Amino acid sequence: MTRVKHAALLGASFLWISGGTSLIQSLITETLPSWFLSAQGLEQEAGESGVVVAILRGYALACFAVLSGTFAWGIDSSSTASKRRPKVIGIHLEFLANALDGKISLRCDCATWRAYVSGFMSLMVSCTPLWIEELDVGMLKRVSMGLRQLNEDDLALQLLEIRGTSLMGEVAEMISQNGF
């Protein structure tokens, strides 16, 4: 895992140095979604080691995406570039929600996808909660429902809790349904 994190940091650093904010925006809104939609045959490795590789690939992509975003927009609202952040992250979460809802058919390995979604959202919850506060409430509800379908109930709850009072009804409903 440490190597995966180091590789993601190195990749994000190179991306930031070579292309800046516009390249990172393209990564999050275009490149990653198109990769998940078209990646086929890359991860058809058999056995337990193949699953581990697929999971590590998903987590590496999640680290890479979040680290790239933090380079471009920071984790707070102090930079002028952070004004574009809600739109770009919103576009990416729309893609995630559509794929989780089954409205989009993905061609990547299922283990890679699951690791990416849980890794990306977990990193946002733990490292960039301000990003979540800036996003559309309806989108957060959809992503939270998708996380619950992946059996990521705790993460789904944390995602909603960050928004505070605007989603307290959904948080209370999740708690009553799941007995947290």
Residue type, 71: F
Q: How far apart are CA 89 and CA 74, in angstroms?
A: 13
pTM for this predicted structure: 0.89
Domain parsing of the chain, residue ranges: 2-178
Nearest CA to 163 among 132, 128, 120, 141? 132
Average pLDDT across each block of 10 residues of the chain; the chain has 180 residues. List them in order. 94 95 95 89 63 94 97 84 89 97 93 97 96 91 94 93 72 63
Q: What is the pLDDT of residue 31?
A: 95
Containing H/E element for 85? helix 85-100
